[in-house]
Amino acid sequence: MNLKTWEEIMSDHPLRIFSGSAHPALAQEIADLLNVPVGKSITRRLPDSEIHVQIEEVVRGQDVFFIQPCCSPVNDNLMELLLYVDAFRRASAHIINVVIPYFPYARQDRMAKGREAISARVVANLLEAMGASRVIFIDIHNAAIQGFFNIPVDPLSSIPVLGSYFKDPRFKDAAIVSPDVGRAGMAGKYAEFTNLPLVVMHKRRSSFTETKTTHVVGDIAGRRPILIDDIIAGGSVLKQLPALYDAGATGKAYLSITHPVLLPTAIEILDKDDNIERLVTSNTIPIPPEKMHPKITVLSVAPLLADIINRIYRGISISEKLVLS
């Protein structure tokens, strides 16, 4: 019996990169780094608002990585993703790896008041039901969501990308600030990566959209704050800055936030608050021109994702790259 070499196995199941309509620029950047073309597919939005997808190449027996962050319009992008997974399965793709840099409904991960849907679990069930083989995401709001899946899940961190920006002598007197206890683990990894002290804010939620900072734990006095978070949407995290300055923070604040949802209220605060020097974010979500504020710096996660895709395809361990605690 002649056993195939790894190279022969890979030639039987070639690596393919495909993209939905949510962020083709990111998919193209990943494909360029891997030296493979982006596969041909087409998404049509029909007059009655239905979505139709079609793969325009043979994918039988191939290892597919489909890139689709589920940003706004969330439901359209999620539905497009599900339809493509079904199309790849029906076209007999060997493996269907779904790369969702920004995972939808991640903040709806439990029942807070009763008689509510656990929407993140619904998304997990749908992806499995359609035939996804693996799911890859970056800085999901609650790491426990990976337990909603019965297929392999690779939770990645943006810290090697965003944190590198702050490994600079000009930030030697700064401090990494967690906006709440829930982000303290993420902030702790930032602090370790940048070799900066850690400060944790405690906030109390007064409504579904409003929070209030009650106290600050750690020594922020005389230090420039670097406030970290996974998502900036309406800008509630920006409203916590005054509490840091009340506790003795100095200098203009930096923000290091992975997913730039950037609702109009966040842009307004960025524009008006002179204490904010810069928002350092990633391209997990495309930022339209009308939201590209002068205070925003965007760093690419494409090298991170390209490395992970290459490792998965070649059967190389990725444990050191995962967020496991």
pTM for the whole thing? 0.93
Contact yes or no for 150/124 (Cβ under 8 A): no
pLDDT digits 0-9 by tens, 91-104 = 999 999 999 999 99
Are 180 and 143 part of one and the same domain?
A: no
Q: Are residues 196 and 209 in the same domain?
A: yes
What pLDDT score does 249 carry?
A: 95
> Is 124 inside any structural domain?
yes
Q: How confident is the model at residue 113 (pLDDT cuts 50, 70, 90)?
A: confident
> pLDDT tens-digit profile of 134-174?
999 999 999 899 999 999 999 999 999 999 999 999 999 99
What is the pLDDT averaged over residues 103-108? 96
Residue 1 in domain:
no
Task: Note whether 309 and 237 are same-domain residues.
Answer: no
* HEC assignment per residue over the chain: CCCCCHHHHHHHCCEEEEECCCCHHHHHHHHHHHCCCECCEEEEECCCCCEEEEECCCCCCCEEEEECCCCCCHHHHHHHHHHHHHHHHHCCCCEEEEEECCCCCCCCCCCCCCCCCCHHHHHHHHHHHHCCCEEEEECCCCHHHHHHCCCCEEEECCHHHHHHHHCCHHHCCEEEEECCHHHHHHHHHHHHHHCCCEEEEEEEECCCCCEEEEEEECCCCCCEEEEEEEEECCCHHHHHHHHHHHCCCCCCEEEEEEEECCCHHHHHHHHHCCCEEEEEEECCCCCCHHHCCCCEEEECCHHHHHHHHHHHHHCCCCHHHECCC
CB atoms within 10 A of CB 303: 14
Task: List the one residue out of 31, 40, 13 whose CA is nearest residue 313.
Answer: 13
Is 23 in the same domain as 50?
yes
Mean pLDDT, residues 204-216:
69
Please report whether residue 315 resides in a domain: yes
Residues 134 and 181 in one domain: no
Based on the domain organization, do 270 and 172 belong to the same domain? yes
Domain shared by 166 and 234, yes or no: yes
Does some domain include residue 293? yes
Confidence of residue 36 (pLDDT cuts 50, 70, 90): very high
Residues 279, 311 within the same domain: no
Annotated catalytic residue 252: no
Host domain of residue 125: 6-158+303-321
Judge whether 209 lies within some domain: yes
The count of domains in the chain is: 2
My answer on whether 259 and 147 are in the same domain is no
Q: Which of 203, 239, 252, 272 is catalytic?
A: 203
Same domain? 53 vs 128: yes
Q: Indicate whether 52 and 183 sit together in one domain.
A: no
Q: Does residue 6 have a pLDDT over 60?
A: no
In a domain? residue 128: yes
Looking at the fold, whether 270 and 182 belong to one and the same domain comes out as: yes
Per-residue confidence at 120, pLDDT binned at 50, 70, 90?
very high
In a domain, 229, yes or no: yes
Given this model, what pLDDT does residue 213 score? 73
pLDDT at 84 over 80: yes
What is the pLDDT averaged over residues 231-253?
93
CATH number, domain of 147, equals: 3.40.50.2020
- Position 84 in a domain: yes
